[in-house]
Amino acid sequence: MGNNIITNENGNIVILNNVIAAIVGVTIAEIKEVAVSGTLKENVAKLFNWKNVERGVQVDSTEEGTTIDIFLNIKYGLNAPETAKKVQNAVKNAVRIMTDINVTQINVNVVGLFFAEENLDSE
């Protein structure tokens, strides 16, 4: 399907998957313990330019609901399951508040680590 359609008494509201991916990207950027692939600066720039907004985030929408897959790096030394759950909760909340979309699954894939002394937004 690729879109989320909300019907009300006035007609339809269509929210594209790239909008959901942008919400997810900005939400993740606000969590200091994680980063999607690439630097934080690159990801935020891409979000606001609407180019490659899905980098590190995949959104799949069906009639049953929306599934979000996130690929990210976590800070070395943190508990991966706890950090992933923090991301899941933040993303689910942000998408719900901004879109009223039924998110059925948020899958967090930890694909790498970064170290505390690495400054992700210095580039």
Q: How far is residue 13's CA from residue 3's CA, in Å, rounded to a whole number?
A: 10
CATH of 3-8+17-114, one of 3.30.920, 3.30.1490, 3.30.70, 3.90.1690: 3.30.70
pTM of the complete model: 0.78
Domain ranges of the chain: 3-8+17-114
pLDDT (tens digit, 9 = 90+) per residue, 33-90?
887 765 444 555 555 444 444 568 999 998 888 999 999 999 999 999 999 999 999 9
DSSP conformation class of 101: -
Dihedral, CA atoms, 63, 98, 47, 55, nearest 10 degrees?
A: -40
Give me the residue label for tokens 């993740």. Answer: 28
Beta strand pairing call for 103-114 and 3-8: unpaired
Name the E strands within 9-121: 11-16, 34-36, 57-62, 65-75, 103-114
Q: How far is residue 40's CA from residue 5's CA, in Å, rounded to a whole number?
A: 31
Q: How far is residue 56's CA from residue 105's CA, in Å, rounded to a whole number?
A: 16
Confidence of residue 23 (pLDDT cuts 50, 70, 90): very high
Q: How far is residue 107's CA from residue 84's CA, in Å, rounded to a whole number?
A: 9
Instruction: Please tell me the least confidently modeled range out of 36-40, 71-75, 93-97, 117-121.
Output: 117-121
